[in-house]
Amino acid sequence: MSILESELPTEMGFFEAVEAAYPAELGKAHGALKRGLPVMVECDKELTPYFYKCLRDRLKADSLQCIYLDGRPPADVDPNRLPPTMVGILLMQLKDLVRGAVGDRIVVLPHLDLLTTSQTGLTSEAREVISLLYENPQVLWVGFKDPSFALPQVISNLFAHRESILGIPRGRLSKLVTQRESRKFGTELNPYLLYKHVSGLNAVRLRRLLQSIEGEDYPSTPEAALSQLRVATLGGQLSLPNLDLHKDIGGYTRVKKRLQSEILDILQRKDSLSSEKEVLRYEALIPKGMIFEGPPGTGKTLFAKAMATALGAAVTVVSGPELKSRWVGESEERIRQVFVKARQNAPSVIIFDELDSFATARGTYSGSGVEHSMVNQLLTEMDGFRSDELVFVVGTTNFVESLDPALLRPGRFEFHLEIPYPNSEDRRAIFDIYNANLNLKMSEAALDYAVKRTSDSVPGTAGYYSGDHIQALCRALARRRIRSALDAATEVVDVDEVLTEYLDLPELTSLEERVVATHEAGHAVCALHCEHVPPIDRVSIRGDVAGALGVVRYAEAAHRYVVTRAQLLDSICMLFGGREAEALLCDDVSIGAAEDLARATAIAKALVQTYGLGDDSVGPRTFETGRDEMPIAEETRNKIDRNVSEILSQGQLRARALLKEHQGEIESLRDLLIERKVLDSESLASLGHPVKQGKEAEE
């Protein structure tokens, strides 16, 4: 698909460029005017005078004359007697025109958008202009509007024929590059490669940018020239990110692999194709709309920016709540302008942050109803993409299930990428990046400890550690090193102090501390002697995990997807361990086992009612009630209740027996906890507990 230098024009002016770029649009506008149809042309302000001149030349050949009304006063008129504004002058000129003899002349209005405000409402002067536009049916109008502004419907209705010009048709691009300019891209010009950097430019702006390219002739690669174009085409609130998908984002191997293989690799492969038919086939396969879903702080926007970096695309991040406006029509107008700017600066990526804030399923709105119109506008803009435009829309959300189904159908947001909380491997990779970038000098022990500690839930929240939390932790470590003028390695104690320095930890009395330590030691010893409970990773009585004075965290089970009855029964036994240890070694039993009892009861009920793993009196049957389920007989309810109670009683008795048998271990572990407050898997190895390597999960 490359073009030799000799096949390109030697010179080209702006008017020649417009003729070369838009022959179809000029021809259709010319034909409509010859048939007596008013024409509206939507194009950049920069393009308006050049397109008008080319159209006027065609009309002159048919003996059709044009009157160009741009609001400028005639040279022979006293300026002191003219209205003070351009709209006022335009109004005066229109009055004289429509109420006089127009004949066969065509009236050109190059600034239709002056007749509307930012809320698409109308000023008093604009209303008078509109009445004049409709006053004389003999007038044949040509109107130009900027795509950045919306016109009221009453103005649009005046024009029976419309032409929309946004960017350059790919097939015409080779007509707009001169031989001298092509030398900056190498010995041959690849218009398909060039097009993805200039697809949103009008022909006039493209010519100006091509003339301004500097550098050596016939370089080995066109990257230097393309880079100059990319920087020059950037405008508005768009920015060029610099974020490497693999180097700057830690972990998430599966997420990266899917994004790379399904989007980036296909686009890179498209750039190397030599067949126009193959290019069109590839373009039809690439999804333009994407949903990045996952909990807050997991890097959804970060992945979108990394994708944009790989594409050399500009990025605009739009917050869903910021799009909403109390003015009628302005929310939709904001969405439309976002898309116009993105298309003008293609390749680009539009990131709708918190997409669910306005794109929830229609019929579920509780507000003013503006969300309905915003969703419709978003759908309209996405349906208007050309297949050769490199404009992608990424919607980030924490609640993908709440989005309007119309957004999720193929052709719109058809590509879904889930970005979950980071697992242990991901967290380690994220720590590695910040360790290097912030010069934390973390020791291996500190790194291991940080990875393990961030498997807990975040204090004060119900969520777990995300990439943002890890970044905040590493920044806090860096500030600590600066405050302490620390040049040595960051150790476990440093990580621990940063994690707990500003936590409102409970101040337990010695008696309370003994009860909590006994409770957690009971859980730990039961876990040690229950075959199917995962190995212990950490025991704490410091109150540094949200909602608990103490906690036993377990390593991730070896078998995560197949759960057996024996595993669930062992879990029930372990959950009773804390309460039974208190009963064995303390004077009384505290209420600290409330959550343990709730979880044990839920497991026992699930065994009987959901999984059909109760005794023979109940049988292998599901007893979940619902609209289509038969009601459960009272006798059956009693059997279920007795079976659940029996499972719980057996678990309690089993825990009690284990703890009596291993009372010495409980006392040793309790005393060690009181002394150290926190024990890791290595510290527990002395008690005979195996050390588990790998991912962690809180039990």
**Which H/E stretch holds residue 348?**
strand 348-353
Structure tokens at 556: 């991730």
Expressed in angstroms, the distance from the first to the final Cα of the chain is 60
Instruction: Enumerate residues 6+ apart whose C-beta is below 8 A from 379.
Output: 406, 407, 412
Residue 555's beta-bridge partner residues?
696
Instruction: Enumerate residues 6+ apart whose C-beta is below 8 A from 54.
Output: 15, 18, 19, 22, 26
Cα–Cα–Cα angle for 136, 140, 143, nearest 5°? 110
SS3 341: helix
Instruction: Give the span between the Cα atoms of 171 and 149, in whole angstroms.
Output: 28
What are the Cα distances from residue 180, in Å, to 195, 479, 584?
A: 18, 55, 92
Q: What is the residue type of 685?
A: A
**Residues 394 and 315 sit within 8 Å (Cβ to Cβ):** no
Residue 352's beta-bridge partner residues?
318, 395
Instruction: Give the span between the Cα atoms of 524 and 227, in whole angstroms.
Output: 61
Structure tokens at 606: 């699930």
Neighbouring C-alpha atoms within 13 Å toward the C-beta of 363: 4
What are the Cα distances from residue 142, in Å, to 94, 180, 553, 685?
A: 14, 37, 74, 86
Tell me the H-state helices in 234-369.
Answer: 253-259, 265-271, 276-285, 300-311, 320-323, 330-344
Instruction: Give the span between the Cα atoms of 351 and 688, in whole angstroms.
Output: 53
Instruction: Give the span between the Cα atoms of 133 and 215, in whole angstroms.
Output: 51
DSSP collapsed to 3 states, 143-209 = EEECCCCCCCHHHHCCCCEEEECCCCCHHHHHHCCCHHHHHHHCCEECHHHHHHHHCCCCHHHHHHH
Transcribe 370-434 into DSSP letters.
HHHHHHHHHHHHHHT--TT--EEEEEEES-GGGB-HHHHSTTSEEEEEE-----HHHHHHHHHHH
Which contacts of 208-217 are long-range, i.e. CB under 8 A and separated by 24 or more positions?
A: 209/233, 210/176, 210/177, 210/178, 210/181, 211/181, 213/181, 213/184, 214/184, 215/184, 216/184, 217/183, 217/184
Q: Which of 520, 556, 580, 696 is catalytic?
A: 520
Instruction: Give the span between the Cα atoms of 572 and 589, in whole angstroms.
Output: 18
Q: What is the residue type of 93?
A: Q
Instruction: Tell me the Cα Rg of the chain.
Output: 35
Scan for tokens 């697992």, then name that residue.
Answer: 423
- Residue 520 is among the residues annotated as catalytic for this protein: yes
- Residue 511: left (phi > 0), alpha (psi -120 to 50), or beta? alpha
Would strands 3-4 and 188-189 be described as parallel, antiparallel, or unpaired?
A: antiparallel
Instruction: Give the span between the Cα atoms of 353 and 301, in whole angstroms.
Output: 8
Instruction: Give the span between the Cα atoms of 370 and 215, in whole angstroms.
Output: 51
Instruction: Judge residue 326's burial from the number of C-beta atoms within 10 Å of its C-beta, 0-12 exposed, 13-18 middle, 19 or more buried.
Output: exposed
Tell me the H-state helices in 542-662.
Answer: 565-585, 594-605, 634-661
Residues with catalytic annotation? 520
